[in-house]
Amino acid sequence: MLVGVLSDTHDRLPMIDAALRLFAERRVEAIVHPGDFVAPFAVRPLLAFDGPIHVTYGNNDGEREGLKKVLPQLVDGPLFVALGGRTVLVHHFIEWCEPVDVERADIVITGHTHEVVNRHDNGRLILNPGECCGWVNGRCTVAILDTEALFAEICELTA
**Distance (Å, rounded) from C-alpha 85 to C-alpha 33?**
19
What's the pLDDT at 153?
Answer: 98
**Distance (Å, rounded) from C-alpha 78 to C-alpha 97?**
7
What's the pLDDT at 3?
Answer: 99
- 157's torsion region: left (phi>0), alpha (psi -120 to 50) or beta? beta
This prediction has a pTM of 0.98
- Beta bridge pairs of residue 88: 81, 107
What's the pLDDT at 159?
Answer: 77
Residue 100: C-alpha distances to residues 33, 123, 124, 140 (Å) = 22, 15, 13, 32
Q: What are phi and psi of 63, to 5 degrees?
A: -95, 60
The list of the chain residues with pLDDT below 50 reads none
Residue ranges per domain, the chain? Answer: 2-156
Tell me how long the chain is. 159
Burial class of residue 100, CB neighbours in 10 A (0-12, 13-18, 19+): exposed
What's the pLDDT at 11?
Answer: 97
DSSP β-ladder status, 116-121 and 124-129: antiparallel
**Distance (Å, rounded) from C-alpha 50 to C-alpha 58?**
24
- Report H helices in 63-113: 64-70, 99-104
In this structure, whether the domain defined by 2-156 belongs to CATH 3.60.21.10 is answered with yes
